[in-house]
Structure 1
């Protein structure tokens, strides 16, 4: 083969057979091109391919190439082991092995080059798989919901008709929603806190000696089950699995968990409460499961694109300097190329990529065109988009007379504009657009934005919504 030494040619013949088998099984044109560009000078390719990558085990292929390299190295070692200088007075055998060594080293270089290209394919393939994983997962969740409905599969909370779900924002947890959920509840309501580590905590809302509503002791499900009252409201305070995960990932996660709890059915109605990016997550869930959502109430939500979110996604090192984590992500990868970013060439989509380039109106317009029936259901929901703002003082100086400071209302909560928070771009979808003054925080590093969910006005709004919707 190509004038090679017989023992090397025999090994290469085996590699050729294996390679063509790999290419035939994979049916991948891309894989064929990588093999051809690296090993065409080593052996011939006769496999017939023409398909796109559908399924491919790159790790196994790289392991096979490692085995090829080992075959050649073993062959050379064996030749030198058998070599005896005393039997090679003319040096002919020495020169032959030296020549074989050069041939083998050249082949190994080709094989290593192929391995590098296989790494590129592996990355490309993993990105492609992740791109399609989310729609498949959403479809599987829908199938489970349908199966449970048709087979009367009940979860632990089946029978509860009023459910509030609280969804936090970017770089956050559910901690701040606990106070609002408790104060917005009624006595004997149940609070279910789903933690990021997978743990679940249960509380019963009670009163302290001053008549204030408080969470009782942390209970396990067996303890809380004995005192369940189906007329009570269930308050689910939800930690996303990743703090900055994309809204679609949250919708998929939440639907799966609510279905397991028995809360996705014809009678249970869900009232969503979202802070900051949690509002986008809540609206996405409503778009995906409009028959189960009764109302959405948000504060501080960037319904439009967001300047700081865009900066954090584009210049991630700046965000990392102030303690943010714009690379935090989940398995979700947005189909919209503008809503993707990469971490060492691994593509991902998260809350930052979403806020960078896609206002929520894009999805709403697509939905209205593709599925006007779902859009009509969104119109029928009670949607309240509240905004937080600060009041500042403006001081003017005059050399002739004293001018007292004048107060003015800021146009943002330091990170999100009031216009974006009130969802003006959503038009007729939003029923109410209240604005609340937030008297804590200032600037980008300690913005009023992070205190909105604890604001007494917003907590009072939570209570009003829960009471109204229960009636």
Structure 2
């Protein structure tokens, strides 16, 4: 501040004190560096800071800098207001104010540069919050589970030992699994449908005279509690689950499910969970099993891309193409994967979702890491009943010969139009998969109306759901 005009020097002294207070309170090295690179020629920094913080009120800091700019502008306006040319015959005061104006304008340029830098920091901190959100949520869920177990805290569905959880794939909702959950149930079972809107619907499965299973809606939970099926606790509870965001990353789904099932009283020593999943829902289910291996008894999937996926990669890399056919590759939650390859950006905001995951990471990568880091959890996965079923189509080839007729020949496709049979069968997961059935899907064709989306309603797959539920019930 040497050689600075006294009025400006007094103002800057106040700014220096405020700035060092901000930096001390924040303790952010990132913020300190941004101040240092922009205002070190204006005033000195003496604050002691630590590392990068997870939360920081950047908007308040920018408002403070705006106040500093206003202080300087007011100082200059006041100097010109007091200036009287008649008292300044030599022009000395005019030159002094002109010099002060240049000084103030230079400082204001530095302050504006700092504000632009703060915008960058705000984005970095927002991404940092997202990066750490899911691990924090996982830890909190684990604490709640432990607390409930040690203090005998019971949720509304405590006492039910057989639980089926149905997890849909990307670009989808729980609607897809209502039929499968109903037909795969037994008379007297309970269906809980958890809508993305937050609404929860309750049904009791009943068998009609013709033997068909139907679901009867129960208006309120109080009414469900009064039913015989609920009170005797012998029924299987089928949870048809909507993810909070349709294309959220599998880790976010696992965190949500852990929290919800614990609140329901279904994460305990007696309740065993059988998971059914279509498409990317299989990745979500396997992630949940890795996170809560003591509570999952079986996983049954169809159409799951256990390997990286070509169409998922295309949708994530050329998002406008996916959007043209009605997909939403930018849809995501607040979760950000630690794996840098499993990240993309949307208007400079980093995100991770189902598409980034299918582009960057085969599930075998996580299994290998788990096997090395926690072989005990891997052993528990081996003990689970894991079935990875695949859908395929049958097409015909026609050969032409000028000499004789050649009838069309049927051949089995190597995919369901979007995911290879090899990937659906989880071949990369090796001994982890117990069964690898394959079902012919006779509806859909091509990328815009693939057989893949009809797998969830295929009669063979629904029969498989029923078989698993009956087996695990025993």
Fold similarity call, TM over 0.5: yes
**What is the CA-CA distance between 1:129 and the residue it aligns to?**
2.5
Partner of 1:28: 28
CA distance in 2, matches of 1:440, 1:319: 22
* 1:119 and 2:122 matched: no
Partner of 2:373: 370
Partner of 1:62: 62
**What is the CA-CA distance between 1:81 and the residue it aligns to?**
3.4
Q: CA RMSD in A?
A: 1.6
**What is the CA-CA distance between 1:380 and the residue it aligns to?**
1.1
Partner of 1:130: 130
CA distance in 1, matches of 2:54, 2:156: 39
* 1:460 and 2:460 matched: no
**What is the CA-CA distance between 1:91 and the residue it aligns to?**
4.8
Q: Which runs of 5+ in 2 are unaligned?
A: none
CA distance in 2, matches of 1:141, 1:49: 32
* 1:316 and 2:337 matched: no
Alignment of 1:238-249 (within 5 A): 238-249=241-252
Most deviating of 90-99 and 322-331: 90-99
Q: Secondary structure at the residue paired with 1:100?
A: helix
Most deviating of 324-333 and 98-107: 98-107
* 1:103 and 2:73 matched: no
* 1:170 and 2:170 matched: yes
* 1:51 and 2:51 matched: yes
**What is the CA-CA distance between 1:46 and the residue it aligns to?**
2.4
Q: Secondary structure at the residue paired with 2:304?
A: coil
Q: Secondary structure at the residue paired with 1:459?
A: helix
* Count of equivalent residues: 471
What TM-score results when the alignment is normalised by the length of structure 2? 0.96
Partner of 1:390: 393
**What is the CA-CA distance between 1:58 and the residue it aligns to?**
2.1
CA distance in 1, matches of 2:217, 2:54: 52
CA distance in 2, matches of 1:384, 1:50: 50
Partner of 2:207: 207
Partner of 1:236: 239
Deviations for 1:52-110, whole angstroms, at most 9, x for unmatched residues?
Answer: 44553322222211111121122223333334455555554444333333322221111
CA distance in 1, matches of 2:49, 2:264: 47
Partner of 1:151: 151
CA distance in 2, matches of 1:46, 1:173: 55
What TM-score results when the alignment is normalised by the length of structure 1? 0.96
* 1:451 and 2:437 matched: no
Q: Secondary structure at the residue paired with 1:106?
A: helix
CA distance in 1, matches of 2:82, 2:214: 84
Most deviating of 335-344 and 383-392: 335-344
Q: Which runs of 5+ in 1 are unaligned?
A: none
Partner of 2:310: 307
Q: Secondary structure at the residue paired with 1:296?
A: strand
Q: Secondary structure at the residue paired with 2:176?
A: helix
Partner of 1:259: 262
Deviations for 1:179-236, whole angstroms, at most 9, x for unmatched residues?
Answer: 0001111112111011112111111112346432112135211111111141011100
Q: 1:321 to 1:2 in 2, by over 3 A?
A: farther
* 1:139 and 2:162 matched: no
Partner of 1:407: 410
